[in-house]
């Protein structure tokens, strides 16, 4: 592929790589890969903290509301702004904006990039204001679309409408937050954006514990906490943007070519990144026809499945997108392949053992985290069954997220959107087939199978476009799979032998985590995994810097 010349006089990066396709064993430059790993570690640490606090939030929710009518109503009401967040903020806006912003920053400098940001922020704010007002007005219709089964239960329907009107403005604040986070990430600032979701979870915990007991409808306290959390997330980003440069302020110059390009990329980008969230939306719709608790079982299971996905996949994808966009803007396409392939291999290296571990420890983990208060043993089993089905798609969902962002960095959002649309259609067919024999578990399984189809197809399209093959990557994934399977076989007796029940849930989970991690990484060390070595090298460099 012919590459444009590097016209940036201030660029101090290495000269463009030669046009030949790299060998399968090629790897990114040590400086580039170290930077990606460092940024991913920052995002991962913040996300890990957020997920831990999020688990506490879910424990509090399960304790006070269990899998009740009120819990179902809240999860449906909060699903809508979360879906729009996935579509508008994380799905459409962030990938489209980051690739365009990075290109403007690389070629024209910070002042031009700041002007683009102000215009984009103003236009987005106006659009979101209209969307928010429309959502408040059409709340009953939205609940009918989101959970049509609720119409046969007047009390559940009424409560869902009330909660939807409280939490819907969350989309206004979280979408503006996503734009600010995208700019900060492109400027190399990852720490503050990564901590934002922690504050959302803290606000929801306080809403449930402090406000709910004082409310006529206790679940309303949780909804208020969600809205306040969205406001706080935006508020903490703005001072850091102001400190960096002239990023804050209004601008009505909507004719900026960068704004037009971002808008052009946004619509297909939403579908390309948020396909899984759309399938969760469909699951909620279908689960509304099932018995009480089905929506809640899927919610709790998805939250646990999202834990490793959020910590590792989101972290790496967030760090890789600006790096790929910069490499593409500078015309270094040989390095583009190696950065992407190494990142994808690392994602599978992490998510495969997470998948196996969650399958083996699923029931014990659900019981440990949620089985108290209004959440009983039957709820534990039903949630664990959904978790087993969801985690089957974990590695593929992780890989899909990265592959879609690779396309976005190439300013191609249509290809992942087309593939995602077809995968979603196939997933819907599978959901309808599996719904009645497997109930809520069938819905989770259909989502996993759709993620698998999406991943395979997307990577085939990317390989064909760039003219390379992933033979070495397939070999690496195969090795990681065998190590994860062996780990699972060793852990299996710990959870399915009655005589070991004396360990208790906490003991089972703790021993499983320590033993499983030790087995998997020992095998990776023994067989000289390049991904383990990359992480170890990064840790060694960080240790040396801390000592100097």
Structure confidence by residue, pLDDT tens digits, 346-359:
888 888 998 999 99
Give residues with Cβ within 8 angstroms of 533, minimum separation 6: none
**15 pLDDT more than 70:** no
**224 pLDDT more than 90:** yes
Q: For the chain, what is the domain count?
A: 1
Range ranked top by mean pLDDT from 13-22, 387-396, 409-418, 477-486: 387-396
Structure tokens at 221: 């306290």
Comparing 8-22, 318-332, 369-383, which segment has the lowest mean pLDDT?
A: 8-22
pLDDT of residue 531: 72
**41 pLDDT more than 80:** no
Nearest to 103 by CA among 190, 34, 30, 8: 8
**112 pLDDT more than 60:** yes
How far apart CA 521 and CA 536 sit, in angstroms, is 11
How far apart CA 319 and CA 193 sit, in angstroms, is 12
pLDDT band at residue 498 under the 50/70/90 scheme: low
pLDDT of residue 443: 92
pLDDT of residue 193: 66
**What CA–CA distances, in Å, run from 418 to 275, 415, 424, 454, 466?**
11, 5, 10, 10, 18
Nearest to 485 by CA among 384, 388, 355: 355
pLDDT band at residue 36 under the 50/70/90 scheme: low
Q: What is the mean pLDDT of residues 253-277?
A: 70
**28 pLDDT more than 90:** no
How far apart CA 54 and CA 48 sit, in angstroms, is 9
Q: What is the mean pLDDT of residues 358-376?
A: 85
**389 pLDDT more than 90:** yes
Q: What is the mean pLDDT of residues 495-521?
A: 76
pLDDT of residue 9: 37
Residue with tokens 């399938």, as numbered in its chain: 279
Residue with tokens 């070999």, as numbered in its chain: 475
pLDDT of residue 31: 54
Count Cβ atoms below 10 Å from residue 451 Cβ, excluding itself: 26
How far apart CA 111 and CA 108 sit, in angstroms, is 8
Structure confidence by residue, pLDDT tens digits, 440-461:
899 999 999 998 998 888 888 8
pLDDT band at residue 1 under the 50/70/90 scheme: very low
Q: What is the mean pLDDT of residues 60-80?
A: 82
pLDDT of residue 372: 80
Q: Is residue 478 part of a domain?
A: no
Range ranked top by mean pLDDT from 61-65, 147-151, 262-266: 61-65
For residues 486-516, b (16+ Cβ closer than 10 Å) or e, as one string?
Answer: ebbeebeebbeeeeeeeeebeebbeebeeeb
Count Cβ atoms below 10 Å from residue 249 Cβ, excluding itself: 13
User: Could you give the angle at which helices 219-244 and 30-65 cross, rounded to 10 degrees?
Assistant: 160
**212 pLDDT more than 80:** yes
Structure tokens at 263: 């808008």
How far apart CA 196 and CA 223 sit, in angstroms, is 18
Nearest to 491 by CA among 521, 459, 467, 513: 513
| Residue 393 φ/ψ, nearest 5 degrees | -95, 5
How far apart CA 388 and CA 448 sit, in angstroms, is 10
pLDDT band at residue 502 under the 50/70/90 scheme: low
Between 193 and 76, name the one with better pLDDT.
76
How far apart CA 136 and CA 131 sit, in angstroms, is 9
Domain span including residue 289 = 39-469
Q: Is residue 34 part of a domain?
A: no
pLDDT of residue 166: 92
How far apart CA 28 and CA 42 sit, in angstroms, is 20
**7 pLDDT more than 70:** no
Taking phi over 0 as left and psi of -120 to 50 as alpha, with beta for the rest, 114 belongs to alpha
Count Cβ atoms below 10 Å from residue 334 Cβ, excluding itself: 20
Mean pLDDT of the chain: 78
**414 pLDDT more than 90:** no
What's the chain's length in residues? Answer: 548
Q: Is residue 501 part of a domain?
A: no
Q: Is residue 488 part of a domain?
A: no
Task: State the sign of the Cα–Cα–Cα–Cα dihedral 168, 282, 425, 275.
Answer: positive
**386 pLDDT more than 90:** yes
**271 pLDDT more than 80:** no
pLDDT of residue 163: 92
How far apart CA 197 and CA 314 sit, in angstroms, is 13
Q: Is residue 206 part of a domain?
A: yes
Q: What is the mean pLDDT of residues 292-296?
A: 81
Q: Is residue 158 part of a domain?
A: yes
Between 100 and 449, name the one with better pLDDT.
449
Q: Is residue 188 part of a domain?
A: yes
Q: Residue 121, CB half-sphere, CA atoms under 13 Å: how many?
A: 25
**181 pLDDT more than 60:** yes
Q: Is residue 494 part of a domain?
A: no
**258 pLDDT more than 90:** no
Three-state SS at 99: helix
**32 pLDDT more than 70:** no
Residue with tokens 């969205």, as numbered in its chain: 230
Structure confidence by residue, pLDDT tens digits, 131-178:
899 989 988 888 888 788 788 788 888 888 999 999 999 988 888 888
Three-state SS at 250: coil
Structure tokens at 394: 């974990």
pLDDT band at residue 10 under the 50/70/90 scheme: very low
């Amino acid at each position: 592929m012919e590459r444009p010349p590097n016209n940036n006089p201030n660029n101090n990066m290495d000269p463009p790589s030669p046009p030949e396709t790299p060998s399968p064993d090629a790897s990114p430059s040590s400086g580039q890969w170290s930077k990606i790993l460092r940024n991913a570690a920052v995002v991962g640490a913040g996300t890990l903290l957020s997920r831990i606090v999020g688990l506490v939030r879910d424990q509090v929710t399960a304790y006070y509301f269990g899998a009740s009518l009120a819990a179902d109503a809240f999860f449906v009401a909060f699903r809508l702004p979360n879906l729009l967040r996935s579509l508008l903020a994380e799905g459409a806006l962030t990938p489209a904006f980051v690739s365009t912003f990075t290109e403007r920053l690389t070629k024209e400098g910070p002042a031009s990039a700041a002007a683009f940001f102000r215009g984009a922020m103003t236009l987005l704010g106006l659009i979101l204001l209209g969307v928010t007002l429309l959502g408040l007005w059409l709340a009953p219709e939205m609940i009918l679309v989101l959970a049509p089964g609720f119409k046969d239960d007047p009390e559940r329907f009424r409560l869902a409408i009330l909660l939807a009107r409280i939490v819907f403005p969350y989309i206004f604040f979280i979408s503006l937050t996503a734009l600010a986070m995208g700019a900060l990430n492109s400027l190399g600032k990852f720490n503050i954006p990564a901590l934002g979701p922690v504050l959302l979870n803290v606000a929801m915990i306080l809403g449930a514990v402090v406000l709910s007991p004082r409310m006529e409808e206790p679940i309303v306290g949780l909804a208020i906490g969600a809205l306040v959390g969205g406001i706080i997330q935006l508020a903490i980003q703005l001072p850091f943007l102001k400190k960096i440069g002239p990023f804050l302020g209004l601008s009505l110059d909507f004719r900026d070519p960068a704004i037009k390009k971002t808008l052009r990329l946004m619509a297909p980008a939403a579908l390309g990144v948020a396909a899984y969230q759309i399938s969760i939306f469909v699951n909620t719709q279908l689960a509304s026809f099932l018995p009480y608790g089905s929506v809640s079982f899927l919610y709790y299971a998805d939250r646990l499945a999202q834990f490793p996905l959020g910590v590792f996949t989101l972290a790496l994808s967030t760090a890789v997108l600006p790096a790929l966009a910069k490499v593409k803007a500078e015309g270094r396409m040989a390095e583009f392949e190696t950065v992407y392939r190494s990142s994808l291999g690392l994602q599978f290296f992490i998510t495969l053992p997470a998948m196996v571990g969650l399958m083996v420890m699923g029931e014990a983990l659900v019981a440990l985290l949620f089985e108290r208060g209004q959440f009983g043993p039957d709820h534990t089993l039903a949630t664990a069954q959904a978790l087993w089905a969801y985690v089957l798609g974990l590695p593929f969902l992780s890989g899909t997220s990265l592959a879609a962002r690779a396309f976005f960095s190439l300013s191609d959002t249509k290809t992942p959107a087309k593939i995602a649309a077809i995968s979603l259609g196939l997933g819907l067919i599978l959901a309808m087939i599996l719904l009645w024999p497997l109930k809520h578990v069938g819905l989770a399984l259909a989502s996993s199978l759709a993620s698998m189809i999406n991943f395979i197809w997307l990577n085939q399209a990317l390989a064909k476009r760039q003219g390379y093959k992933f033979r070495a990557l397939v070999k690496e994934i195969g090795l990681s799979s065998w190590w994860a399977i062996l780990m699972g076989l060793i852990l299996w007796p710990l959870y399915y032998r009655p005589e070991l029940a004396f360990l208790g849930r906490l003991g089972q989970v703790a021993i499983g985590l320590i033993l499983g991690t030790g087995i998997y990484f020992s095998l990776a060390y023994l067989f000289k995994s390049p991904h383990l070595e990359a992480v170890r090298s990064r840790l060694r460099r960080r240790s040396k810097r801390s000592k100097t």
